[in-house]
Amino acid sequence: MRVLFLACLSPKTGNCTTAERIRDHIISAGHSCVLRDTRELGSASDVTSLMTKAPGFEAALAIHLFKGGRFLLDTGVPFGVVFGGTDVNEDVKDEHKRAVMEEVLHKARFAVAFTDRLKEQAETLLVCESKKIHVQPQGIETRVASHFSWRDFLHSTGVCTEKVEDLRVFLLVCGLRRVKDPLYLLEAFSEWHIQNPLVILIIIGPKIDPVFTAEVEERVKRSAGVFLADELSKEELHAAMQKSFTLVNSSLSEGMSAAILEAMDLGLPVLARDIPGNAAIIKHEVTGLLYTTPQEFVSMSKKLLEDLELQERVVRNEKNYIKTCHNLMEERTTYQHLVESLH
């Protein structure tokens, strides 16, 4: 079976990583799967045109009901969809988008939600058939680059110190766009850095929104102890995570953060903003720490720095959680089974 797969493929983002992983699951079952970037599609007619060109497609899949699923409504082939956090956190607030998403759910053979909470939100906010929605957490697999130089990375970021081993690096991994809110912690963190120069915050990720990126660059220049790093390959990013003290998330909205899950798998404590998407995978002081204000973030960071037992407990529980709930082979089996239903 030849499957068309639509997703937002901004390089080195969670959406892109998830789409590539699901595509690999489909291919491993003996199907062919063609990924297309929804940002390159002007209208549903572009997808219809794709469908009519030889050798054609027999089925389709999309990540995000509105951003991707809307292009599949008139293709004439069976399709499935995967919920993104934007669907239930943002797009559902728009009456037109909500109507489109409900039509997508009605026509789809199946839908996938990453968490029980995401499924519950969909059932509450959208008219849909509950039995169509399957819960499948993201499968996680990390690979660390062997050639990565931590000292060179810090130097390229602008961190100039000989005592690299003494630094405590707080790594904020996100695409530079407003919903990720990377500026949320800057003022509080800078004040803390002035008190304790060994703590630094590094923001790293692709520059998705050019206007917002310029704003971030300007603010970072004026913030003591905060640095902006160029994006890395996935393997290099995992190496940087492994060398950092903690992984930081400050997003306004998340479906399921791949960066958080990867950090957990790599044995890195996670400090995340207390929003529904994060609270669905983090139990406070068990599998990470959740904060609600910049001041609380600093307070919890200080506690984590000083409490070795807390560090060890969180890391141990995180790794067990990933092994139990985010098994890559279980994810593969689920998607292969669902895609078979598109025959």
- CATH number of the domain enclosing 40: 3.40.50.2000
* Long-range pairs of 286-289 with CB within 8 A, sequence gap ≥ 24: 286/313, 286/314, 286/317, 287/314, 287/317, 287/318, 287/321, 288/260, 288/264, 288/314, 288/318, 289/314
Is 304 in a helix, a strand, or coil? helix
Is position 126 within any domain?
yes
Mean per-residue pLDDT for 129-150? Answer: 93
- Looking at the fold, whether 30 and 172 belong to one and the same domain comes out as no
pTM: 0.85
Mean pLDDT taken over the chain: 93
Residue 136: CB atoms within 10 A of its CB come to 18
Is position 144 within any domain?
no
CB-neighbour burial class of residue 318 (10 A; exposed 0-12, middle 13-18, buried 19+): buried
The total number of structural domains in the chain stands at 2
- Looking at the fold, whether 172 and 319 belong to one and the same domain comes out as yes
pLDDT at 35: 93
pLDDT at 53: 79
- Looking at the fold, whether 279 and 243 belong to one and the same domain comes out as yes
Q: Is the dihedral of CA 158, 233, 247, 245 positive or negative?
A: negative
Is position 219 within any domain?
yes
- The range of the structural domain enclosing residue 205 comes to 150-325
- Looking at the fold, whether 305 and 159 belong to one and the same domain comes out as yes
pLDDT digit string, tens, across residues 305-330: 999 999 999 999 999 999 999 999 99
pLDDT at 85: 83
- Looking at the fold, whether 128 and 206 belong to one and the same domain comes out as no
- Looking at the fold, whether 70 and 119 belong to one and the same domain comes out as yes
In percent, the amount of the chain with pLDDT more than 90 equals: 81
In percent, the amount of the chain with pLDDT more than 70 equals: 99
- Looking at the fold, whether 120 and 244 belong to one and the same domain comes out as no
pLDDT at 46: 83
Mean per-residue pLDDT for 189-205? Answer: 97
